[in-house]
Amino acid sequence: MRPLLGLLALLFVAPIACIEPLIKADTDSLKTYSEPFRPQFHFSPKAHWMNDPNGLVFQGGRYHLFYQYYPDSTVWGPMHWGHATSKDLLYWTHQPIALYPDSLGYIFSGSAVMDYQNTSGFGTEEHPAMVAVYTYHNMEGERSGRNDYQTQGIAYSVDQGQTWEKYIGNPVIDNPGIKDFRDPKVFWHESSQSWILVLVAGDHARFYRSDNLIDWTFLSSFGQDFGAHGGVWECPDLYPLSTDQGEQKWVLSVSINPGGPNGGSATQYFVGDFDGTQFTSDQKDIKWLDYGRDNYAGVTYNDAPDDQRILLGWMSNWDYAQVTPTMPWRSAMTLAKRLDMKVENSDYYIVQHPVWDSTLIKHSSTLNIAEVNDGLILPVSKSHIEFEVDLGANTTLELFNSNERFIFSIDADNAQMIIDRRGSGAVDFSEQFSPGIQVKNYTPEQRMTKVEVFSDASSIEIFVDSGRHVFTNQVFPTQPYTHLKITTEGLISDKIIFSELKSIWNEQ
Ligand code: FRU
């Protein structure tokens, strides 16, 4: 199984890269989040292993982030739900671990809802319960060769997620004999006045309904003959999005590992309709949320203000997640993104807007192309860069230090957008980290379009055409990148806005 392979890889492939920073990590750096590669404006746990975001729910002015967490190691192990909260999805406060493994199994991925009408009876209408719905992964069951070792359980909290009670009648959904049967996403479905749950079962998604979050009825399934099937389906989500013409569509998103467009883990989505019982779609092509390699298991918030649809992903890839050269923590979340739906030539697609604001800016300056043509010295390792460029011309953006370089290019001649992180810094901790360039096909057209780049100590997120094309990647430069270079054969806006960003941990 993957985690065991990862542990072996850690022991035999990357001992030097991983152990050396551990020795250096003293308690002061833990307080200040200042270790090498430590993300400065992305969420990462203080220490130890993290993977998928779980239980994303907005309540009482706070965004809750629960996450797959193993508090005893920097590689995957018996899963808990870690917990953090934020008022703005930028600055995070760590909270105590929410859910611990129990006799039914490890606590795998899932979701959380606020039960405002007290349908479950776990709270009251005055003090509604937060209810978590998750997968139990039973190790004894797996070891004994059975295939029914994943079931769904629930837990509730009547103190805003601080302390939790597991439901005494767990599991609430038994395993029907399907090996991979997990990652329930629950939401309140207004038009059928019921709770809807979507989970994945190997190569398809299954839908259930409930009046009380406890008793679930199977409704339908989707996916065996649809979309990408290069790996197992994981972490589904189902939500409505309105187009700019006001038409409502439903999105079913499914993470898949392996089988992503540039290798390993990635998230595909289907645009269609959901009538309270069945999801249908006549989509022919495969749509991916992100063409970088490090945005996985992303799901959206329940109850976000103003009906916004906000996505958060795990900024890693199972191809190498367990051997990245960070200590004493491993992995970060992506920036949160607000989602929109657009229609072009009768085709629907998701557009992603990074959630951030000027509170994160330390210092901004306006540059022009002549200044960055040959490479300009700037603190690019903690920055936001924004400019407009012609989508029909060749353009290259480079972030680099004296001998390491990350390159993004819009190759209009070949109708491709390309990421090259082969020389971006430490890459040899895994042969799978950077075997080649990453490619996304696109349609070149003479049109000025916005490009936004968020560069942190160990990641670069790029949003092209106002979030139509998104590339999320980890990078591990052994020295921070110090230079920005942009070249283009087309038009570029007079102003390239460069902002040095703050650390969410050290600079409020
Ligand atoms: C996705 C995943 C989920 C599972 C969890 C276990 O990354 O494999 O399917 O619930 O991680 O940690």
At 119-172, the pLDDT tens digits run: 999 999 999 999 999 999 999 999 999 999 999 999 999 999 999 999 999 999
Ligand 1 near 52 CB (within 6 A): yes
Q: How many residues does the chain have?
A: 508
Could you write out the three-class secondary structure of 351-374?
EEEECCCHHHEEEEEEECHHHHCC
How many whole angstroms from 334 Cα to the centroid of ligand 1? 17
Burial zone of 4 (CB within 10 Å; 0-12 exposed, 13-18 middle, 19+ buried): exposed
- Residue 77 DSSP class: -
Residue 21, pLDDT above cutoff 50: no
Check residue 114 and give its pLDDT: 98
Q: Rounded mean pLDDT of 90-114?
A: 98
For ligand 1, what atom is nearest to the CA of residue 265? 7
Whole-number Å distance between alpha carbons of 498 and 65? 30
Check residue 28 and give its pLDDT: 55
Ligand 1 near 35 CB (within 6 A): no
Q: Rounded mean pLDDT of 47-58?
A: 98
Ligand 1 near 182 CB (within 6 A): yes
Burial zone of 305 (CB within 10 Å; 0-12 exposed, 13-18 middle, 19+ buried): exposed
Task: List the residue whose alpha carbon is closest to atom 6 of ligand 1.
Answer: 108
How many whole angstroms from 144 Cα to the centroid of ligand 1? 20
- According to DSSP, the β-strands at 80-86 and 62-70 are antiparallel
Residue 9, pLDDT above cutoff 50: no
Residue 334, pLDDT above cutoff 90: yes
Instruction: Identify which of 477, 453, 319, 479 has the alpha carbon closest to the alpha carbon of residue 395.
Output: 453
Residue 105, pLDDT above cutoff 90: yes
What rounded mean pLDDT belongs to the chain? 94
**pLDDT tier for residue 393 given thresholds of 50, 70 and 90:** very high
Cβ contact 65:44 at 8 Å = no
How many whole angstroms from 281 Cα to the centroid of ligand 1? 26
- Residue 79 DSSP class: -
How many whole angstroms from 471 Cα to the centroid of ligand 1? 22
Ligand 1 near 234 CB (within 6 A): yes
How many whole angstroms from 382 Cα to the centroid of ligand 1? 30
Ligand 1 near 322 CB (within 6 A): no
How many whole angstroms from 256 Cα to the centroid of ligand 1? 10
For ligand 1, what atom is nearest to the CA of residue 52? 7
For ligand 1, what atom is nearest to the CA of residue 234? 9
Residue 322, pLDDT above cutoff 90: yes
For ligand 1, what atom is nearest to the CA of residue 314? 7
Ligand 1 near 319 CB (within 6 A): no
| Predicted confidence (pLDDT) per residue in 184-220, tens digit | 999 999 999 999 999 999 999 999 999 999 999 999 9
pTM over 0.85: yes
Check residue 32 and give its pLDDT: 76
Ligand 1 near 108 CB (within 6 A): yes
Ligand 1 near 235 CB (within 6 A): yes
Task: List the residue whose alpha carbon is closest to atom 8 of ligand 1.
Answer: 234
Check residue 51 and give its pLDDT: 98
Residue 245, pLDDT above cutoff 50: yes
**pLDDT tier for residue 30 given thresholds of 50, 70 and 90:** low
Q: Which of 4, 67, 150, 182 gets mutated to test ligand 1 (max ligand atoms within 8 A of its CB)?
A: 182
Residue 102 bears catalytic tag: no
Residue 81, pLDDT above cutoff 90: yes
Q: Which of 180, 234, 314, 333 gets mutated to test ligand 1 (max ligand atoms within 8 A of its CB)?
A: 234
Residue 364, pLDDT above cutoff 70: yes
The secondary element (H helix, E strand) that includes residue 27 is: helix 27-32
**pLDDT tier for residue 64 given thresholds of 50, 70 and 90:** very high
How many whole angstroms from 392 Cα to the centroid of ligand 1? 40
Ligand 1 near 51 CB (within 6 A): yes
Residue 5, pLDDT above cutoff 80: no
Residue 455, pLDDT above cutoff 50: yes
Report residue 111 as tokens: 């979701």
**pLDDT tier for residue 508 given thresholds of 50, 70 and 90:** confident
| Predicted confidence (pLDDT) per residue in 275-321, tens digit | 999 999 999 999 999 999 999 999 999 999 999 999 999 999 999 99
Percentage of residues in the chain having pLDDT higher than 70 = 94
Ligand 1 near 183 CB (within 6 A): yes
**Phi (first) and psi of residue 170, to 5 degrees:** -60, 150
How many whole angstroms from 233 Cα to the centroid of ligand 1? 10
**pLDDT tier for residue 507 given thresholds of 50, 70 and 90:** confident
Ligand 1 near 50 CB (within 6 A): no
Among residues 52, 183, 290, 456, the one annotated as catalytic is: 52
**pLDDT tier for residue 29 given thresholds of 50, 70 and 90:** low
Residue 445, pLDDT above cutoff 70: yes
Ligand 1 near 79 CB (within 6 A): yes
